[in-house]
Amino acid sequence: MSSTEIVLIAVSVLTTIVLSALIGSLLYKRRVKRTQEEVDEKSKLILKEAEIAAENLKKDKILEAKERILKMKSEFEDEANRKKSLIIANEQKIKQREQAL
């Protein structure tokens, strides 16, 4: 083998190594980019699902609060009516006592 052939082989080997490294690097970057895009999509989906779940929970809590307010209002009205009836009954007793005197 001549020195020219050795140099040619060495250059070919180095060129092959450099090109392999470049191609490998490009493929790796492409893979990383694709993986990052998949992660971004999954994170957006998770966030959207979380927002939907939060909105549903919010609606449920608002509905529970409205139901509780209606129940409290009904209880208050029942108590007010009971006290009003008691007042009316006491007023009638007082009128009857006044008439008896």
Per-residue pLDDT of 53-62, as tens digits, reads 999 999 999 9
Q: Which amino acid is at 84?
A: K
Average pLDDT estimate for 63-92: 97
Sign of CA pseudo-dihedral 27, 29, 30, 36:
positive
Mean pLDDT of 37-41: 97
Tokens of 27: 């493929």
> How far is it between the farthest Cα atoms of the chain?
146
Q: pTM, whole model, 2 decimals?
A: 0.57
Overall average pLDDT of the 32-56 stretch: 97
> Residue 86 corresponds to which amino acid?
L
**pLDDT on residue 101:** 73
